[in-house]
Amino acid sequence: MEHITRTDRNLKYKGSMLSFYEDTIVTPDGNKAKWDFIEHGGAAAVVPVLSDGKILLVRQFRNALDRETLEIPAGGINSGEPPLEAAARELEEETGYKSSNLKHLLSLATAVAFCNEIIEIYVAKDLTKTRQHLDEDEFIDVESYTPQEITEMIYSGKIQDSKTIAAVMSYIHTCEHINSCK
């Protein structure tokens, strides 16, 4: 494949989480094109597994969809913060549980056509109940489901969040290979 070259990147808007750019691209045949690019600082997410094998999900309102969603806990990585620490922080903030047993599951590029966001996803076991530490604009309910119940919600369309689908299905697949999801 011939190379595509970016010749310019102009910041159009800087938000609290995202920066929006217009890139000037030169295609292999010499044509110029304008492409959108969204810069994101990265995120961390967690599949929190209770001792009975159920997985904690968070129910929250998502403005982009104008409805509530069921998702694994996740959030942005602060500048200089290691992804593992961000995952542990988000786990406690959103669910009110801590874990000293977090293991990396996968890295997920969320929207490769226009955004550089990477979500580092972890599995958390040996959970200890603490309390939620929600941001002032967060209103989150914590619910627990079996892997089978989550799978059914994914296939029925009740869960559509890509990070949750990728994380839970990867976790289940990994469990099947070691014959245990607990």
Residues 83, 108: one domain?
Answer: yes
Residues 79, 165: one domain?
Answer: yes
Q: What is the pLDDT of residue 140?
A: 86
Q: What is the pLDDT of residue 178?
A: 54
Cβ atoms of 115 and 125 within 8 Å: the answer is no
CATH for 148: 3.90.79.10
Report the alpha-carbon distance of residue 89 to residue 129 in Å, rounded.
14
Residues 31, 96: one domain?
Answer: no
**In DSSP terms, which residues pair with 56 in a beta bridge?**
144
Residues 84, 173: one domain?
Answer: yes
Q: What is the CA radius of gyration of the chain?
A: 19
Residues 85, 133: one domain?
Answer: yes
Residues 74, 128: one domain?
Answer: yes
Range of the domain at 174: 42-178
Residues 29, 63: one domain?
Answer: no
**Which of the residues are catalytic?**
136
Residues 33, 90: one domain?
Answer: no
Cα first-last separation, the chain: 45
Residues 166, 87: one domain?
Answer: yes
Residues 85, 34: one domain?
Answer: no
Q: What is the pLDDT of residue 17?
A: 86
Residues 116, 26: one domain?
Answer: no
Q: What is the pLDDT of residue 181?
A: 61
Starting at the edge strand found earlier in the chain, the sheet holding 141-145 runs 67-71, 55-62, 141-145
Task: Return averaged pLDDT per consecutive 10 residues of the chain, 182 residues in all.
Answer: 90 94 95 96 96 96 92 94 97 95 96 96 96 83 96 97 97 72 58
Nearest to 119 by CA among 163, 78, 157: 163
Predicted structure pTM score: 0.90
Domain count, the chain: 2
Q: What are the structure tokens assigned to 70, written together?
A: 């069921």
